[in-house]
Chain A
Amino acid sequence: MTTLTEIKLLPTLILLVSCEYLAIFKKTVAMHEVFLCRVAAHPILRKDLNFHVFLEYNQDLSVRGKNKKEKLEDFFKNMVKSADGVIVSGVKDVDDFFEHERTFLLEYHNRVKDASAKSDRMTRSHKSAADDYNRIGSSLYALGTQDSTDVCKFFLKVSELFDKTRKIEARVSADEDLKLSDLLKYYLRESQAAKDLLYRRSRSLVDYENANKALDKARAKNKDVLQAETSQQVCCQKFEKISESAKQELIDFKTRRVAAFRKNLVELAELELKHAKGNLQLLQSCLAVLNGDT
């Protein structure tokens, strides 16, 4: 009896697996698209040769992954960066804009991290519930086929309902994942990148200030003044340049963020509505049939 049920459910199983695959595929595609669009929209990055090659070269790119040495380098770089970041973040910024951005980003980043984690858990619970619907559906089917009284019709109809509802619930979970969890994850990384940018700017500010101090010292001692002056000028230029582009980037960041959230929240709400209405219709038509029977 169980084998018969399993065989009957095989096509559903195949559909389920392909639905899952499709959901994951949709997700990956979406992320890649966002990434490429961003690079293309960036005034400087869009001109990068690597980017052009990526878009145009019509044969296999054969990109090499990072080898062990490179991965180790990355690891150490990160360590140094975070240690340094702590030191550098102690420096107060005269510029209000950047000071505000720094406080904002710190808090925002932490909260996005939290929201992203919670959203993930919520999406996963949704999926578990959808899986339960699946099992309930097949149990009801087994009950329905065995029952000799007229409640068997009920069981079979409700089993059918649960199969269909299950698909919808799974899509709800997948859509929430796509529109909400992924959005938050993305902005988690974005806000981290913004923080990194601020760090680089602070780094350069510290360098600039150090160069200033060195220049003063040199002038006082009247030794290596020219060298100190050039070094100071270089730092100043670097600092001003990075400040300028950082400001622009951060403003863009905000614009993009607002647009992305708007798009995703609207789409999320629309999808939730669509699925809820779909569910409702299934439930109501099932109830109509069952009530007609009794």
Chain B
Amino acid sequence: MAAEREPPPLGDGKQADFEELEDGEDLFTSTVSTLESSPSSPEPASLPAEDLSTNSNGPKPAEIILDDDREDLFAEATEEVSLDSPEREPILSPEPSPAITPITPTTLMAPRIESKSMSAPVIFDRSRDEIEEEANGDVFDIEIGVSDPEKVGDGMNAYMAYRVTTKTSLSMFNKNEFSVKRRFSDFLGLHSKLATKYLHVGYIVPPAPEKSIVGMTKVKVGKEDSSSTEFVEKRRAALERYLQRTVKHPTLLQDPDLRQFLESSELPRAVNTQALSGAGILRMVNKAADAVNKMTIKMNESDAWFEEKQQQFENLDQQLRKLHASVEALVCHRKELSANTAAFAKSAAMLGNSEDHTALSRALSQLAEVEEKIDQLHQEQAFADFYVFSELLSDYIRLIAAVKGVFDHRMKCWQKWDDAQITLQKKREAEAKMMLANKPDKIQQAKNEIREEIEEWEAKVQQGERDFEQISKTIRKEVGRFEKERVKDFKTVIIKYLESLVQTQQQLIKYWEAFLPEAKAIA
């Protein structure tokens, strides 16, 4: 947290409170809004032109004011991308768009300190409560909508294009409202890029919606029936939720790839996301390798917190899956009920027609009408069952898989560190042995070599330890944020779902109250 680095003018007493804020980034993003609003905040003109937007809509101090943590992150990111290190998922080399150059820490350091010192008094003058409130509340003034699915092309090469509309007041974007057309593989590409950059350092990257060969084939073939419209709608809603979740993440929101995805009208096609592409197969192989690897890593867990959390997530995963299965069954039965009610309505209408007693005949027709309306009601309720409740559960099941992935990365990180320590130990032993042996001619050169190697491995051990601590720290923060989001999400969804049930019952009451006098009127 920056509070630890640059001594805040507030003094030590307030430091503890800053640590309460779970996300340092939150603080700084709120800084953005303060900076934006206060006319006195200077727009540091010295910001580098490599800034991520092409127009001069003012500099964006937000992304510049980085946590030290994130500096390290990007250093590593640029490093790792060039090396083909095995533990990184070589999903794809993030296709660098020409408009964007990777952020390098050095260029960011200078302006940061400048603007920080200028703006520092502005932040710290505000009351702590305000800042906390903003940090915990909806500071991310950005709304994403995915709409208007449109079929593009014909036959097996056809695809659905979705309109992604962003409404925001954040200055990091060029405009306040803009929209672009994206296809499903674009979303997968975005996720891929984000996962590559952030998963292995402990950030929980929201997973993209799942592919469905069956569903898409139906759409491509051009079947205009209700199941393919349902499929498209399900996908559209899932894509919307995916983006909304992604932009809620303060770190991911700053990512240039995300911004490019939302803003630029042309996006290079992410071909490596196809399941059967070379990259896809490589992915599958890596996944399998990872699974095996996981079983063989034996980590000395020094921190009980991690063990506890992992167990908790395991339990949560199991329970959510069970609940999801039950809710899916409910959706299915409700749809059945709706269909059966519709069939009954028709049948009752026919019966009413044959009935030769006039009043009874009319009552039966009324019954048929009531049942028809009720069938509609059931359909709508099934809709709510699914989109409100069931989809949330499946989203969270996938999210928890991402969380588990992050824990796994930490283990791998530990292993790397451990391996480095072991190698270092071996080298040291080799050196010691060499010292004891007496071969004067070879010894000097060999000694130098070994010395060099030892130094190299000492550095690696240090780096490994730093990485491990970093990822552990990040995970703690991320899990805290995740849990908060989870609680909020579930509370909101449960209330929304119950409200849908309330509506259904209210309608039912209306319908039966209208029917009752008709039934009584039979004479």
Q: Which residues of A contact B (CB under 8 A)?
A: 104, 107-108, 111-112, 114-115, 118-119, 121-122, 124-126, 128-129, 132-133, 135-136, 139-140, 142-143, 146-151, 154-155, 158, 161, 165, 254, 257-258, 261-262, 265-266, 268-270, 272-273, 276-277, 279-280, 283-284, 286-287, 290-291, 294
* Residues of A contacting B343 in the complex (Cβ-Cβ under 8 angstroms): 118, 121-122
Which segment of B181-189, B455-463, B495-503 sits at the interface? B495-503
Interchain Cβ contacts within 8 Å, total number: 159
- Which of A111, A128, A161 contacts B354 (CB under 8 A)? A111
Q: How far apart are A118's CB and chain B's nearest CB, in angstroms?
A: 4
Known: A115-B348, A118-B344. A280 touches B330 (CB 8 A): no
The list of the 3 closest CB pairs from A to B, nearest first, reads A125-B337, A132-B330, A139-B323
A232 to B189, CA, bound (A): 94
* Residues of A contacting B494 in the complex (Cβ-Cβ under 8 angstroms): 154, 158, 290
Does the CB pair A150–B498 fall under 8 Å? no
A233 to B143, CA, bound (A): 93
A281 to B313, CA, bound (A): 35
Known: A265-B519, A269-B516. A146 touches B315 (CB 8 A): yes
Q: List 23 A-B contacts (CB under 8 A).
A: A111-B347, A111-B351, A115-B348, A115-B351, A125-B337, A129-B334, A140-B323, A143-B319, A148-B312, A155-B490, A254-B356, A258-B359, A258-B522, A261-B363, A262-B522, A268-B519, A276-B508, A283-B501, A283-B502, A287-B495, A287-B498, A290-B494, A290-B498
Instruction: Give the interface size bracket for B toward A.
Output: 35 or more
Quick check: is B38 within 8 A (CB to CB) of the other chain?
A: no
A139 to B389, CA, bound (A): 14
A283 to B501, CA, bound (A): 8
A273 to B501, CA, bound (A): 15
Known: A129-B333, A287-B499, A291-B495. A266 touches B520 (CB 8 A): yes
**CB-contacts of B349-384 with A (<8 A):** 350-351, 353-357, 359-360, 363-364, 367
Quick check: is B336 within 8 A (CB to CB) of the other chain?
A: yes
Quick check: is B142 within 8 A (CB to CB) of the other chain?
A: no
**CB-contacts of B159-212 with A (<8 A):** none
Question: At the interface, is chain B mostly helix, strand, loop or mixed?
Answer: helix
Quick check: is B515 within 8 A (CB to CB) of the other chain?
A: yes
Closest residue on chain A to residue B509 by CB atoms:
A276
Quick check: is B329 within 8 A (CB to CB) of the other chain?
A: yes
Closest residue on chain B to residue A165 by CB atoms:
B501
Quick check: is B97 within 8 A (CB to CB) of the other chain?
A: no
- Which of B351, B487, B501 contacts A151 (CB under 8 A)? B487
A115 to B494, CA, bound (A): 37
Question: At the interface, is chain A mostly helix, strand, loop or mixed?
Answer: helix
- Which of A108, A128, A155 contacts B355 (CB under 8 A)? A108
Does the CB pair B487–A136 fall under 8 Å? no
Quick check: is B512 within 8 A (CB to CB) of the other chain?
A: yes
Quick check: is B152 within 8 A (CB to CB) of the other chain?
A: no
* Residues of A contacting B501 in the complex (Cβ-Cβ under 8 angstroms): 165, 279, 283
Quick check: is B151 within 8 A (CB to CB) of the other chain?
A: no
Does the CB pair B351–A112 fall under 8 Å? yes
Most chain B CB atoms below 10 A, which of A115, A155, A280: A115
Most chain A CB atoms below 10 A, which of B355, B359, B501, B505: B505
- Which of B329, B340, B363, B512 contacts A125 (CB under 8 A)? B340
A115 to B352, CA, bound (A): 10
Known: A132-B326, A143-B323, A158-B498. A262 touches B519 (CB 8 A): yes
Q: How far apart are A9's CB and chain B's nearest CB, in angstroms?
A: 14
A233 to B327, CA, bound (A): 72
8 extra interface residue pairs, beta carbon distance < 8 Å, beyond A115-B350, A136-B330, A262-B522: A115-B348, A125-B333, A140-B323, A149-B486, A158-B498, A257-B360, A276-B512, A279-B501
Does the CB pair A122–B340 fall under 8 Å? yes
Q: How far apart are B328's CB and chain A's nearest CB, in angstroms?
A: 9
* Residues of B contacting A107 in the complex (Cβ-Cβ under 8 angstroms): 354
* Residues of A contacting B347 in the complex (Cβ-Cβ under 8 angstroms): 111, 114-115, 118-119
- Which of A118, A136, A161, A265 contacts B367 (CB under 8 A)? A265
Does the CB pair A132–B333 fall under 8 Å? yes
* Residues of A contacting B319 in the complex (Cβ-Cβ under 8 angstroms): 139, 142-143, 146
A262 to B483, CA, bound (A): 56
* Residues of B contacting A122 in the complex (Cβ-Cβ under 8 angstroms): 337, 340-341, 343-344
* Residues of A contacting B508 in the complex (Cβ-Cβ under 8 angstroms): 272, 276
Known: A107-B354, A121-B340, A283-B498. A265 touches B522 (CB 8 A): yes
A84 to B67, CA, bound (A): 95
Quick check: is B129 within 8 A (CB to CB) of the other chain?
A: no
- Which of B490, B519, B522 contacts A154 (CB under 8 A)? B490
* Residues of A contacting B512 in the complex (Cβ-Cβ under 8 angstroms): 269, 272-273, 276
A140 to B323, CA, bound (A): 7
Quick check: is B320 within 8 A (CB to CB) of the other chain?
A: yes
* Residues of B contacting A273 in the complex (Cβ-Cβ under 8 angstroms): 509, 512-513, 516
Q: How far apart are B494's CB and chain A's nearest CB, in angstroms?
A: 5
Quick check: is B316 within 8 A (CB to CB) of the other chain?
A: yes
Q: How far apart are A213's CB and chain B's nearest CB, in angstroms?
A: 35
A259 to B274, CA, bound (A): 67
A266 to B522, CA, bound (A): 9
Quick check: is B473 within 8 A (CB to CB) of the other chain?
A: no
A269 to B518, CA, bound (A): 10
Quick check: is B506 within 8 A (CB to CB) of the other chain?
A: yes
Quick check: is B491 within 8 A (CB to CB) of the other chain?
A: yes
A148 to B326, CA, bound (A): 23
Closest residue on chain A to residue B371 by CB atoms:
A122
Most chain B CB atoms below 10 A, which of A122, A143, A161, A258: A122
* Residues of A contacting B498 in the complex (Cβ-Cβ under 8 angstroms): 158, 161, 283, 286-287, 290
- Which of B333, B334, B357, B490 contacts A254 (CB under 8 A)? B357
Q: How far apart are A277's CB and chain B's nearest CB, in angstroms?
A: 6
Does the CB pair B337–A294 fall under 8 Å? no
Does the CB pair B515–A269 fall under 8 Å? yes
A107 to B319, CA, bound (A): 53
* Residues of A contacting B506 in the complex (Cβ-Cβ under 8 angstroms): 280
Does the CB pair B333–A280 fall under 8 Å? no
A146 to B326, CA, bound (A): 18
Quick check: is B322 within 8 A (CB to CB) of the other chain?
A: yes
Closest residue on chain B to residue A261 by CB atoms:
B360
* Residues of B contacting A112 in the complex (Cβ-Cβ under 8 angstroms): 351
* Residues of A contacting B348 in the complex (Cβ-Cβ under 8 angstroms): 115
Known: A115-B347, A262-B522, A284-B502. A133 touches B330 (CB 8 A): yes
A28 to B327, CA, bound (A): 33
* Residues of B contacting A148 in the complex (Cβ-Cβ under 8 angstroms): 312
Known: A136-B326, A265-B519. A258 touches B505 (CB 8 A): no
* Residues of B contacting A133 in the complex (Cβ-Cβ under 8 angstroms): 330
A142 to B320, CA, bound (A): 10
Q: How far apart are B345's CB and chain A's nearest CB, in angstroms?
A: 9
* Residues of A contacting B340 in the complex (Cβ-Cβ under 8 angstroms): 118, 121-122, 124-125
* Residues of A contacting B327 in the complex (Cβ-Cβ under 8 angstroms): 132, 136
**CB-contacts of B278-327 with A (<8 A):** 312, 315-316, 319-320, 322-323, 326-327
